[in-house]
Amino acid sequence: MGKLDGRVALITGGGRGMGRAHAVAMAREGADVVICDIDFQVDGIPYPMNSPDDLAETAALVRATGQQCVARVADVREFDELEDVANAAVAELGRLDILVANAGTFAAGSIVDLEVRQWATVVDTVLTGVFNAVKAVAPHLMAQRSGRIIATASGMGRHGTAQMSAYTAAKWGVIGLAKSAAKELGPYGITVNVLNPGMVDTPIIRNDHLRRLWNPELEDPTDADVDRKVLELGLHHMPISVLPPEDVAAAAVFLASDDARYISGGTLEVGAGYAANYT
């Protein structure tokens, strides 16, 4: 018997990375899964976004567990698109129980150098995208008087981060949004919590832009140079540079399960000691 038998989970940014890990982990615990992601390159974002092949691969991995998967293209910056995805979940899979508001992106640069449109894109995706997802899914959960909402913020949403003001501000905002949602939705039997990952092995860090950003002194930096930098900067305090996404997914399964039925309004840190860097 799985921890999520009979449930339906909707995961934004489910095409790859942690979204894919959440989808597969929840399916293995018996949930049917709805994934959505974009299929185009967002203006001002300096690394590749999800591709249609990524979304199809996640859907195939979910189906390989024996669970159903509905995959949709949707931009979390557009409320109407997420409302359509939530309605499709209920229409095609019969119900909706879990939201993992996972989609996110970043653009780096000092406050002086970051373009206003880049700031707006990051805040619209990271913060407004979570608002849109909660707003689209909450009515379904309220109607059945139960549900789980998990929003992905970041360790970088718990301390100031030079060159990452938009990302840090938006992730900090996600925590405030989730705590507010926990108050509004708690009376309906719905829990709302935040996952704060440390550095995780996904495409958001495995790209040339991030490699060069973190290693400006190197002519041709590699992923290993990023891994070394994570340890040098003292982000993690256990001997691991970047975490497998499956470890974050295990925390999401826990928050979605009956084991966590009275855990709400909180943050769960999955960062090999990253949380020791902030209060």
What is the binding site for ligand NAD (CB under 6 A)? 12-13, 15-19, 37-38, 49-50, 75-77, 102-105, 125, 129, 152, 154, 197, 199-200, 202-205
Q: Which of residues 173 and 197 has its CB atom nearest to ligand NAD in the complex? A: 197
3-state SS assignment for residue 240: coil
Sheet holding 32-37, edge to edge: 69-73, 32-37, 8-12, 98-101, 147-152, 190-197, 267-270
Q: Which of residues 44 and 189 has its CB atom nearest to ligand NAD in the complex? A: 44
Q: Which of residues 4 and 270 has its CB atom nearest to ligand NAD in the complex? A: 270
**Least distance to ligand NAD from the beta carbon of 154, Å?**
4
**Least distance to ligand NAD from the beta carbon of 18, Å?**
4
Q: Which of residues 105 and 264 has its CB atom nearest to ligand NAD in the complex? A: 105
**Least distance to ligand NAD from the beta carbon of 13, Å?**
3
C-beta separation of 73 from 172 below 8 A: no
With vertex at residue 98, the alpha carbon angle to CA 97 and CA 101, rounded to the nearest 5 degrees, is: 150
Q: How far is CA 201 from the centre of its chain?
A: 13
**Least distance to ligand NAD from the beta carbon of 73, Å?**
9
C-beta separation of 211 from 221 below 8 A: yes
Q: Which of residues 200 and 240 has its CB atom nearest to ligand NAD in the complex? A: 200
Could you give the C-alpha distances from 90 to 25, 99, 172, 231, in angstroms and in order? Answer: 21, 13, 31, 44
**Least distance to ligand NAD from the beta carbon of 188, Å?**
25
Query: Of 47, 167, 262, 274, which is the active-site residue?
Result: 167
Is 188 a known active-site residue? no
H/E stretch holding 149: strand 147-152
The candidate with the shortest Cα–Cα distance to 52, out of 67, 65, 40, is: 40
Could you give the C-alpha distances from 208 to 96, 142, 199, 216, 219, in angstroms and in order? Answer: 38, 43, 16, 11, 12
Residues belonging to the active site: 167
